[in-house]
Structure formats: C-alpha cells, structure tokens
C-alpha cells in the first residue's frame, strides 16, 4: 500500500511538471485548421503589484480577419475574457475554450490577438499565425494551437 501511494504521488508530480514545462508549439506551415486552443507569452507584469493592486487583471482574445493589423483591427466579435490563467514555467499561457473560436466563419481565415488588461488600460499583443475552420469540419472536432507572438 505504501509503495502504491508513493507511486501515485510520483505520477502526480510527473504530470504537474509536464504541464508546467509546456511551451507554445511550433506551427508547421504557419496555418492551423480547426483550432482548439490558443497559446501566448504572459505579460512581463503578470505578477506585478502596484500599491497592492495587480497591474494585470485579465487577458482577452480577439479574432480579426487574416492580414489585419493586430494593433488596430476590428474584431469579428466581442473579445473573449479568459481571466488570468497561471502561466507555465516558460511563461506561456494556454487557453482551451471553444467560445474563443465560436465567431469564426467556416471557410474564412483569421488571426488571434491577445489583449492584456489592467487598471491602467489594455494592450494588444502582435498577431497569431493564421487559422481557419475548413468546411468539412466543425469547430469542436479539430485539434491545433493558435500561437500569438509577442
């Protein structure tokens, strides 16, 4: 019994260290079809406090048409608030939520823009790799990561 508990504990430590060791994946060919998650680098001020007030309070993700300027594009829908997820050991944030991609139209290509928000306002990151939803797939059935560069 004691061995089994130690084994389970060791497995949990291994799973935790694997999850915290994740980095944003490389995107072969640059285009993701049917994405299921987004990955970006956390703000350098992610854990910074200013007079006991967090500088970063949340992140949002906006979708814009492919080729649009990430700093000024008009999102196709209201940006999705993903809260303030805990970054990996490499400082990456992963968000796996279908509502991020819900406004994407089948057959169109988009970029994702991560937006960091706090009491002083919001700042947009640069654009992600392009992505799209092919006509023969539904948004919840695919696999792929949209990577936002910083």
- So what's the pLDDT on residue 130? 83
- So what's the pLDDT on residue 116? 93
Segments in the chain below pLDDT 70: 1-22, 26-31, 34, 135-150
Which CATH number belongs to the domain containing residue 137 in this structure?
Answer: 2.60.40
Q: How far is CA 71 from CA 34, 51, 57, 62, 128, in A?
A: 24, 29, 20, 11, 12
- So what's the pLDDT on residue 97? 77
Domain, as residue range, for 89: 2-148
CA-nearest of 112, 108, 104, 114 to 139 is: 104
Beta partners for residue 41, in sequence order: 92
CA–CA separation, 38 and 35 (whole Å): 8
Beta partners for residue 130, in sequence order: none
Q: What's the structural domain count of the chain?
A: 1
């Amino acid at each position: 019994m004691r061995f089994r508990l130690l084994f389970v504990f060791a497995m949990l430590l291994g799973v935790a260290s694997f999850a915290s060791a994740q980095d944003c994946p490389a995107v072969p060919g640059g285009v993701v079809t049917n994405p299921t998650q987004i990955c970006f680098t956390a703000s350098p001020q992610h854990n910074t406090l200013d007079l006991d007030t967090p500088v970063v309070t949340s992140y949002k993700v906006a979708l814009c048409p492919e080729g649009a300027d990430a700093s000024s594009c008009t999102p196709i829908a209201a940006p999705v608030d993903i809260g303030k997820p805990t970054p990996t050991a490499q400082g990456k944030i992963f968000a796996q939520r279908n509502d991020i991609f819900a406004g994407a139209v089948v057959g169109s290509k988009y970029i994702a823009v991560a937006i960091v928000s706090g009491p002083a306002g919001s700042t947009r990151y640069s654009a992600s790799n392009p992505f799209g939803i092919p006509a023969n797939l539904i948004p919840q059935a695919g696999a792929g990561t949209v990577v936002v560069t910083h």
